[in-house]
Structure 1
Amino acid sequence: MPSSTGSVERLDANIPGAFPDGNSSRQSLQDVTSTHQTLSQSLYARRAEFTRPRSVRIKVGSWNVGAQKGTEKDIGEWFVEGKGIEASLGGLGIKDTGNDSKERVSEQEARRTKYASTVPTGDSASVPSNEEIGIYALGLQEVVDITSATEALRPYTDPAAANRYKEAIVKAMPDGYQLVAEQQLIGLLLLVYASPAVYPHVTAISTTSVGTGLMGYMGNKGATTARIILGETTRLVFINSHLAAGADKVSLERRNWDAGQIISRTRFDPITDAFGVTQAHGEGLGEEDFAFWFGDLNYRLEGMSGDDVRRLLTIHTKDFDLEPEDDVNAPSISSSRSDASKMSSTSSEAGAQFVPEPTELDPSSLQATLQSLLPHDELQQQQKARKAFQDGWTEGPIRFLPTYKFDIGKVGVFDSSEKRRCPSWCDRILYRTRTGKQRYDASMKELEEAKKKDEEMKAKGLDHAADDDEVLFDYDPETDGDTGDYDEYDETADPEPEAITTKEGFSDEILLEYYTSHMRVLSSDHKPLGAVFSLKFDAVIPELKAAIHKEVARELDRQENEGRPSITVVVDRSTGTAAPENNNTTDSDFDGVDFGDVQFAKSKRRNITIANTGRVPATFGFTDRPVGEGQPAGPYPSWLHVSFDRESYKPEKVQADKLAADNIQTSFVLEPAEVLNIELKMKIESIDLVRKLNDGVTNLEDILVMRVHDGRDHFLPLRGHWQQSVLARTIDKLVKIPEGGVRKLQHQKPSSEASVQSSAAPRELFRLTEAIESLNERTLAEWDMTGHETEKAPWRHNAGWPFVKDPRYFADGAHEDTLAHVYEALDCETPFEAAFDLESAPMQRLEILAEVLLVFLRSLEDGVVTEVMWRQLEEGLITREKSKQQLPADDERLFVLEIIAGAPSHNVCFVLITTMLQRIANDIANASKVEKKTPRSSIDLPASPQVSIRRRTLSKVTEVATRQLINRNYASIFTDAIFRAPNVDKMKEKDKTTRKERMIRILDLFLADPHEG
């Protein structure tokens, strides 16, 4: 068999649903095509049925803020609201709105300050803005001072600068816009936002950065990039870069090198498709459908005198009533003179009609000036020479003044410093389509083939075409393929949409609508640059795709070969397909297992039966199911346990190898007409999953894949209806839950703006602490009354009781249903007593509630003592440790409470918990007292299950030593429940131990008996 065929078979063997090769020597390639491969092909063939055309405007902005303070004040108005454009200086698509209320330049410059926006007052949007834009992509350069060695060599990125700009953007953004991608590299910051309508269609987000600065890899120069997939069909890439500066040849070559490094070293995360198949390697630049490269590319005007260029350009800034410096800018040229030059000499003749001369032909017009400068632009020169950005990158027509370098605080005054830099278009926005990249690759292939042909001809000695009838292909890399005209657009006409075919085979169109600078922004020596693109794409509609997917799967099922092993999956209808328990209707369309209402810690069981309905024995088992991005792989979701009513099949080695190729771990063999019963148990125990379910970012829906060896796959949908839980929330959200419990919010989430419904602490915490204290008193009293002469009380040998269970009295897992009822009482705000059996003892109830309390506290997102609070506490403790200063206990307690008091709800929770622990410790210590005449050596102190304590460090008084043990154990148990500390995973074990000791010491302060000492 040819090696190519063998390669296909090996690939197919690992695809879910593949038919094994029973006789590879006679089986055709079509016979070994997998079910999922066929499903994918069939689904792709019907893609027009589940995609719909969508349109979105993408606004790309670039600005070198020069590490200037106050630049964030301008971000919202120019980038989001589209202000700060001077229509008289042009730009693609810019029309003069005739806004008479717009602030004059002289007034604008006079009031300029770093504490407020420098955009002119009374300005209006000159380009699409606000809700008209679906995707905002902003690239900033020099958000920190990259000339500082401290910043350039900093081993981490300081987010403070980025936060200032993000806050300003969010304040200006319309409601509902979401930050979908963010990447910072020292001074480079890339931010991508999506509108509420676009955000649900954004997937496969990946960001990365490449440093090309000092030593070729430091982050003072380089790029930050982001990749997203739009509508499951269209790959978009955004590249924000800052290339090497300088006007000499060496700097130019370094800029080209920087761009090449960014292209070669950028790599995104692998993409996982709808069937759970993940790419072996992440994609690089060039594999996207649309790419946008923007930033301070630093390309200059080659061979131009700075003074000459400034004088030439200053002519056009006189429209602003500017007063430039005499030694820098040229004298004013009146607008009337300019207008007069546009008139034809024949226009004054009798009866002649005035025809204005085209702007491009007027030698005094801005466009004529720009056209005279652009041939000197290094970027266009390097593209034409195929040294940088030659592989399909294009740019809109430049109809605006150079964006660099201006005097800060001025609209149109170019660099008046001693350096008097030549104005240049350093800031650029380029874009590339998949078709543009393919065109370039094809042209390079043709040139390479022509060169190869030429070399072959020369090798045959055919130096002159005249000596032979054959044609000699001469190849000159400097001229071949060069049309002599770099620009692909007509400067006098608006660009047309470009149609492309995406990597997924869909048809898209893109159009550059606007490309201009924001001249009226004064806070940096660079002017911001903006471009608006209109993108038409085909978006997958998930509901339609699911329906077509189902139809295709059923059709493939009908086409299965009846001679192969066949099984039938029967769901117990009495429990399997009922609607949620709070719904009186029946969902008859759901063909799977429905667990109904699901709550935390409560098991829900359903049964299915597998029957062999074929004519041959069937070997089958569950295999890896299709999962989405970020979901754990494997045959079962984390919340499902599967048990069988018979032993697993243990095949011979040959058969075992075949099953392993099918990813079947646990296999069974059913003879014809034989059945197998399976129990599915759903139980939610993961706090992280509870948090996602509460927030609605995930749901209890999944699919089990049952693979039949040599047969087809069966897909069993699972679902459950999540009941809201008080677990995995913040304290601030809990105090806003209305009376009656969190279940009243089943179809909504507690709003951060809602009014506080309970007292300063969550009602759940009040109820738990109160119940635990009461049950502790009852337990101690009952034990004392009943005697228990032959038994030792649990608190006598366990200093962590009741928060550390004693298996001699209470076995873990023995009261699963009771625990679930307690959590339900907590969620529904019903009495705890109803959750317990009448015969359950107070001690058992106490231990259950103690467990629930710890789970509740550990699940809090922010903790009782938040990360911010802990940082302040730890700093104070470390300072005193270094100075060997030890405060009195009262002062230490006051220090802790002053920090926590900044958040009243947290403060009340902390006091409530520590007061409860102190009272319980007091009661247990008093219950553990012995007669004073009993010798110290004959008294057994309780074991310390949580912390290792040297006996000699304890008090010689038995009662005091017992209380010390209890306090230390309680403090150790509640550290992770109360405190939230940052960077725990990155800490060394020694540092973790030291930190925990500090937490224990703080809690120990509040648990100490106030009557001691």
Structure 2
Amino acid sequence: MGGDKIGLYVLGLQEIVNLNTYAYVPSPFYAYADPSVVAKWQEALEAALPRHYTLVACEQLAGLLLLIYASPDVAAAISNESTVSTGTGLLGLGNKGANVSRLLFGETTRFVFGNCHLASGHDEASLVRRCSDYNKILMQTTFTPISRSGVMEDEGDKIGDEEFAFFFGDLNFRLDGLPGNDIRHLLTLHARGEYDLSHTKSTPQFGEDSVFVLHDNDDDTLDGASTPGMVSRETSFDRGDSDESSEELPDPDDFVPDPHDDPASLQATLDSLLPHDQLRIAMKKEKAFHEGWQEGPITFLPTYKYDVGTIGLFDSSEKKRAPSWCDRILYRTRKDMERYTKNHQDQVDAQSKDDDMKRRGIEQAAHEESVLFDYDPTTDSNGDTPATSETVYDYDEYEEEGGVDNGEQVIIQDGSIDEISLDLYTSHQRIMSSDHKPVVAIFTLKYDAVVPELKAKVHAEVARELDRVENEGRPSITVVVDGSDPTNADQGGPVDGSGGINFGYVGFMRRKSRSLTIANTGRVQAKLNFLEETKNGDGDNQRFRWLGVKFDPPLNGYSEGNEATIANEISLEPGETVSAIIEIEIRDVKQLQALNERPTQLEDVLVLHVADSRDHFIPIRAAWRPSCFGRSLEELIRIPRGGITELVKEHPNTGSIPPSLDVQSSSPSELFKLIEAIESLTERLIADENMIEDIQIPREKVGWPFDRHMWQTNEDEDYATLRGAIFEALENGQPILEVLTADVPTLKRLEVVSESLLLFLESMPDGIISAPLWARMDQTLPQIAGAKTSTEVEDVKTGVLDILSTEPYYNISFVFLTAMLARVASELLPLNKDEREVINTRKPGSLGKRSLSFRRNAASAVDEGAIQRRIAWERRAAEIFSNAICRTATAPSAKEKKIIEDKMRCVVEIFMRRDGP
């Protein structure tokens, strides 16, 4: 047996480096590792192994090295490898200790392999250290937790939790109670007979790697491994092919005696030495390796100590160390461990019972039990004189406890049954490179393994069954969009049959909505709510709110106990339905500018959460319609007569309008249309007031119609429709008054157009007075807010116009806008000649303060109230429009911000006063 028939090769080496050549640092965790030495051993081992074997574990601790190789089939079944090193030398150094590896086979069976080198020495103190080393390794070894199917166990395994364990290496246990010279002399006689190289018998020649095996006559499982001189003759019960049919009994001389019964055999000599083995004595006294550990029959010479380079020549140095079985291979199954644990617990229980009886004074019963359980063979000796512990050895102990139960079944933790049998346990006597002779063991193991394909199939079946059971007891809903075919959202499909809800093209501040009908088609109550956290992004990871959803008043069948109002969360009984409204609208100016700069698809996923059930995902899509809102003045003057719609037709992929396009107008045509509409509607409103008694202009409301807080009409659905029509007209290059029908009151139309103008100005990134232009005004005209006399005011106006003249398009737009404000003020709040003279002699922004040069003319008709209303209106209008058209750097403080706002207001207010004296 060997070659590629072996599924797992495990090699444990000791003293692979000369520890005397390395200076150790006294640290409890220090362990020397030389990668070059490990590489040499790996190279040599891989050269000897069959092809395609995989290294599954490699660990060095100073002179210790553990290597594990697996065949391709076995390697595929191994997982959760964990290797731990424990140093037990002086101060915890790694010159002694163990490398212990844990492997999981087939997701069911744990294997542990421990390569050990325990304390050396023949005296009693060394024996105690060896036992201590073993127990320290068991206590300190903890493996990483096992992970199965992505689920990690809470704690890591320790030695004893596995199904199969193997401990091997230089355990250093010696022979006690026998003179070393006698052992050496006795074994040398056998070694010379067995390994005499000058022997001329025609026996097969063994190489250095040959295996020498001593076994019983009936052991025919090891072909070619019989010990020379102990091979039985072939015995046949020939019933003959002749006519004679009589049976002949075999000749007794044809039987070779059992080596255990032959006093002259090597095996009988070994049997006489094994009762003195420290390891077996320590196991019996429960000092070490007593927790169910087994060892195969020892049929080979002691493995220590030999002269290097010799065969069968024991230590000839001055120390003349006694031969011993220092190198061992022990193994244990879960069944062995459980049997030991049960027996140990039985002993503890019996001792506890005995102690309890003695405490209760039942002396006779205690005496009887002591007769049954306290037998001491050292004081018996068949009635003769007591024997001493040094001279009494149980020579039949090995027969009782050391036998190997080949084919033993082991029940692992999940209930599967594994099998193990020991096929070979021997030494390599012809390896002469060390003073030790290595030992080898071959085991045959059978274990239950998880079949990946079957596991996946079972998992799928279990998942389906769990889903079926779960679905029967959890809410189930059906969602229908605007009369489309119902789709069961519980199955995760699209709610409209096309992968979501597509709103088509959406423009700036033009709201679109769609409705959903949600029905409880399950057997239990369903609690619903839409999760508020949505992406609402524009691709630059900047979050904008453009999608909203709410429940509408319930439809038919909705229980009367629920509130018939819009709510964020609602409960549906089986069979009930409710409607939900989905709305999209682009209102944020920054998002508007970003979409104009780089048009993108608006996408989001609406999440309908059902308590105790799965969430339902409704994809939302919309396409952005480019707008003239949110454009800079440099872009707006390049829009052709047909508006931004015409420009998109000519340049479909246009985002930002490039400066390479021709300038179409000296001022944005959209601005001209809005100003023209405001002037026309103002004149029309004055005419309506004069002709219709029911119409009254709210002149007492300061800033009307530009101040949103002073509007006479509420912002309702009809208002949003009018505003959308104005936006459509601007984007298509149409006159605004054409889309505002006459059935809409003039006052309402004026308010809607005024708001549209302010939205248009506020959405311009650079405004009409850009940040660079304002910086020049602020620097060169420090007296803007302090101008008092007419001369000072005219100087400010001249300076502002000089700066604006450097940017003609901005200059024209500014003059055009302020001229409109002046005309609207004159129409809404007219003044006579004397009142105009009064207001023009006052400092811009001063409310009711007279100039020192003013002289009241008693004959003149001056209405101080009208003057105050006009000044207040101009001041408020200047505040509104200065914030809409001026762009400045961010002020460092609130105080400086207020100063800048006052200056901007003064600039606009100065240009609003166009009436002459």
TM-score range, shorter chain: 0.3 to 0.5
Q: What's the TM-score, normalizing by structure 1?
A: 0.42
Larger radius of gyration: 2
The higher-RCO structure (CA 8 Å, 6+ apart) is: 1
